[in-house]
Amino acid sequence: MAGFEGFASRRQTDPALPPGQHLERGFPVLSAGPDPNIKVWELQVATETGQRSWSWDDFLALPQEDITTDIHCVTSWSKLGTHWRGVSVDTLFDGLKTEQRFAMARSYGGYTTNLPLEDLLGGKAWVMHTFEGRPLASEHGGPARLFVPHLYFWKSAKWLQGIQTMAVDRPGFWENYGYHNHGDPWKEERYA
Amino acid sequence: MSTDWRPAICVQGRPETLSSRSIRLKVDNLGPVVAGQHIDIRLTADDGYQAVRSYSLSATPRGGPGGTPLGNSEVEIAVEELPEGEVSPYLVEALAPGDPLEVRGPVGGWFVWHPTDSEPVQLIGGGSGVAPLVAILRARIASTSAVPMRLLYSVRAPDTVYFADELASYTTSPNITVDLAYTRVAPHGEARPPGRLTDRDIENFVQEPGSGIVYVCGPNSFVAAVTDLLLARGYDSAAIRTERFGGA
Ligand SMILES: Cc1cc2nc3c(=O)[nH]c(=O)nc-3n(C[C@H](O)[C@H](O)[C@H](O)COP(=O)(O)OP(=O)(O)OC[C@H]3O[C@@H](n4cnc5c(N)ncnc54)[C@H](O)[C@@H]3O)c2cc1C
């Protein structure tokens, strides 16, 4: 392939960046519509055998974890070393039995995204309410969002309302609009 | 597949404003294109370094400037040069006809308009965020659709209007309305005082709630402010589609 004369690299590459990603200093906002107006917040987790739900106070009373990690948006920006506080999805599923292998995350406002359960459990995913020491802003999914940093950020559903396990995988919102079903940034699983 | 990088060449560049330009690209094996979609552009430097950014299509193969078709397998984007930006200064200042780059997509099936869509359309854009909205207007003009379309375009000053002549010419198109709202400097004789969009503007220049789909595109803060105004005016959030370009 011919060289691209004139285009010169201006930024350093960083081995922490997955292929095709660039460093971002700010925190761009991407959502499909307006921020939802959440009047009473409640979080639900449900499997084929039962369900649990938490009020805001119940949720904050659960064991909290502090996570420092990189995040990767499918639109090609990444932020490195971001700090978050929230509750592990393992904690939310504690005591709930399931044979099902898939899950749908559902947001206030109607957004959905699907994930294999193995990407949500085992210390890989959280429901976060604090970003860089401050309550998570509404534009970034506050009061609480799903956080699955090893996948592209559209899987980290903003304004999380609930997680429901599924026997059969079904596409969520962006997965229906041409985005990849899984979304691993290191494999560049961007579009279907 | 839309995941594959395909070779493309720059066919033409035309200045839009002092700091932006429209770029026509010919893309190998360009698949179906829907107005409102975006493409990813990848540039490779001599040392192998690569940079990728997303750009909304401002014109589709069937609906180019003025609604006339582009060449086969051609699309256009409109790029605003950001100070200290890595990719946009190259696209606006350096990329020349014949230069190669790579394209992925087009992508997106949400912030789009199909000529078979039957609802009235309200478009609200800020700055370069008007690009996909103009693609939608052009697609409507190139098609047999007669759905009413109304554009409310927020710009800093008269010399920052993208597609200025073309938008001015739409005043004679049936069922198309274009309103400009200036934030800093308004042209002589403009009734609306310069300033950011307010609830009055939504009342004056935006179709009634419940009467169709609203597409909002621009920088984050613009999209957030406009959607707040729309919700306050009684729009159902399901009728509002947004595309954000990042940045302030
Ligand atoms: C779906 C979508 C559609 C889009 N459509 C359009 C379009 O139609 N037209 C358009 O013009 N844009 C569009 N954009 C925005 C576009 O993708 C780019 O973000 C934009 O062109 C800026 O890219 P850049 O490489 O010039 O700037 P970047 O290098 O990404 O920098 C952006 C800004 O951040 C600052 N910055 C960030 N990181 C650093 C750093 N490490 N060092 C120094 N400065 C930094 C820079 O000062 C600069 O002002 C779209 C974005 C999306 C997501």
pLDDT per residue as tens digits for the range B16-75? 999 999 999 999 999 999 999 999 999 998 888 889 999 999 999 999 999 999 988 999
Neighbours of B116 (CB within 10 A): 8
Residue in chain A closest to B7 (alpha carbons) equals A1
For residues B25 and B72, is the Cβ–Cβ distance under 8 A?
A: no
B46/A3 touch (CB, cutoff 8 Å), yes or no: yes
The residue among B38, B46, B93 with the most chain A CBs within 10 A of its CB, best to mutate, is: B46
- Joined together, the tokens standing for residue A86 give 């929230």
| Total domains, chain A | 1
B46/A10 touch (CB, cutoff 8 Å), yes or no: no
User: Which residue intervals of chain A are DSSP H helices?
Assistant: 56-61, 89-93, 173-176
Tell me how far the alpha carbon of residue B85 lies from the centroid of ligand 1, in angstroms.
Answer: 6
pLDDT for position B26: 98
Q: Which residues partner with A134 through β-bridges?
A: A131
A192/B44 touch (CB, cutoff 8 Å), yes or no: no
Q: What are the b/e assignments for B174-210, b being 16+ CB within 10 Å?
A: eebbbbbbbbeebeeeeeeeeeebeeebbeebbbeee
Tell me how far the alpha carbon of residue B88 lies from the centroid of ligand 1, in angstroms.
Answer: 7
Instruction: Judge whether A82 lies within some domain.
Output: yes
| Residue A84 structural domain | 40-187
Q: From the CB of B53, is ligand 1 less than 6 Å away?
A: yes
pLDDT band, residue A33 (cuts 50/70/90): confident
pLDDT for position A13: 74
Instruction: Judge whether A75 lies within some domain.
Output: yes
**Cα(B177)–Cα(A11) distance, rounded to whole angstroms?**
43
Q: Is A1 exposed, middle or buried (0-12, 13-18, 19+ CB in 10 A)?
A: exposed
pLDDT band, residue B156 (cuts 50/70/90): very high
> Quick one: residue A58, left, alpha or beta (phi over 0 = left, psi -120 to 50 = alpha)?
alpha
- Joined together, the tokens standing for residue A21 give 């990603």
Does residue A149 surpass a pLDDT of 70?
yes
Q: From the CB of B128, is ligand 1 less than 6 Å away?
A: yes
Pocket test for ligand 1, best of B17, B21, B54, B243 (most atoms within 8 A of CB): B54
Does residue B76 surpass a pLDDT of 60?
yes
Does residue A164 surpass a pLDDT of 60?
yes
The residue among B43, B55, B101, B228 with the most chain A CBs within 10 A of its CB, best to mutate, is: B43
A4/B220 touch (CB, cutoff 8 Å), yes or no: no
CATH number, domain containing residue A114: 3.90.420.10
**Cα(A187)–Cα(A152) distance, rounded to whole angstroms?**
11
What does the pLDDT average to over A5-33? Answer: 82
Pairing relationship of beta strands B149-155 and B121-126 according to DSSP bridges:
parallel
Instruction: Judge whether A136 lies within some domain.
Output: yes
B86/A10 touch (CB, cutoff 8 Å), yes or no: yes
Torsion sign across C-alpha atoms B116, B120, B124, B130: positive
Interface of A with B in 93-152 (CB under 8 A): 109-110, 139
Judged by DSSP in three states, B237 sits in helix
- Residues from chain A contacting residue B227 (CB–CB below 8 Å): 33-35
What does the pLDDT average to over B105-125? Answer: 95
* Residue whose token pair is 């069922």: B175
Q: DSSP assignment, residue A166?
A: E
**Cα(B87)–Cα(A49) distance, rounded to whole angstroms?**
51
Q: What is the DSSP string of B59-76?
A: E-SSS-GGG---STTEEE
What does the pLDDT average to over A142-155? Answer: 97
Instruction: Judge whether A29 lies within some domain.
Output: no
| Residue located nearest, by CA, to atom 15 of ligand 1 | B245
Amino acid identity, position B166 = E
Q: What is the DSSP string of B199-227?
A: HHHHHHHSPPTTSSEEEEEESHHHHHHHH
Instruction: Judge whether A148 lies within some domain.
Output: yes
CA distances from B80 to B16, B124, B219 (A): 9, 18, 12
Q: Which of B45, B52, B111 sits opposite A7 (nearest CB)?
A: B45
What is the CA A87 to chain-centroid distance, rounded? 13
pLDDT in tens, A53-107: 999 999 999 999 999 999 999 988 999 999 999 999 999 999 999 999 999 999 9
> Phi first, then psi: what are they for B133, rounded to 5°?
-70, -35
- Å from A114 to nearest chain B CA? 17
Among A6, A76, A13, which Cα is nearest to B92's? Answer: A6
A1/B100 touch (CB, cutoff 8 Å), yes or no: yes
Residue in chain B closest to A13 (alpha carbons) equals B49
pLDDT for position B248: 56
- Å from B28 to nearest chain A CA? 14
What does the pLDDT average to over B81-88? Answer: 92
pLDDT band, residue A29 (cuts 50/70/90): confident
In terms of C-beta distances under 8 Å and separation of at least 24 residues, what long-range contacts does A154-157 make, across chains too?
Answer: A154/A30, A154/A73, A154/A74, A154/A113, A154/A179, A154/A183, A155/A105, A155/A113, A155/A115, A155/A119, A155/A183, A156/A71, A157/A105, A157/A106, A157/A107, A157/A111, A157/A112, A157/A113
Judged by DSSP in three states, A133 sits in coil
The residue among A1, A5, A9 with the most chain B CBs within 10 A of its CB, best to mutate, is: A9
Instruction: Judge whether A119 lies within some domain.
Output: yes
What does the pLDDT average to over B149-157? Answer: 98
pLDDT in tens, B219-244: 988 999 999 999 999 999 999 999 99
Pocket test for ligand 1, best of B24, B53, B76 (most atoms within 8 A of CB): B53
Instruction: Judge whether A192 lies within some domain.
Output: no
B242/A31 touch (CB, cutoff 8 Å), yes or no: yes
Does residue B146 surpass a pLDDT of 70?
yes
H/E stretch holding B105: strand B100-107
B45/A190 touch (CB, cutoff 8 Å), yes or no: no
Q: Which of A9, A21, A37 sits opposite B45 (nearest CB)?
A: A9
**Cα(A9)–Cα(B55) distance, rounded to whole angstroms?**
20
- Residues from chain A contacting residue B105 (CB–CB below 8 Å): 191
**Cα(B233)–Cα(B209) distance, rounded to whole angstroms?**
7
pLDDT for position A1: 38
For residues B123 and B149, is the Cβ–Cβ distance under 8 A?
A: yes
In this prediction, what percent of chain A has a pLDDT beyond 90?
78
Instruction: Judge whether A99 lies within some domain.
Output: yes
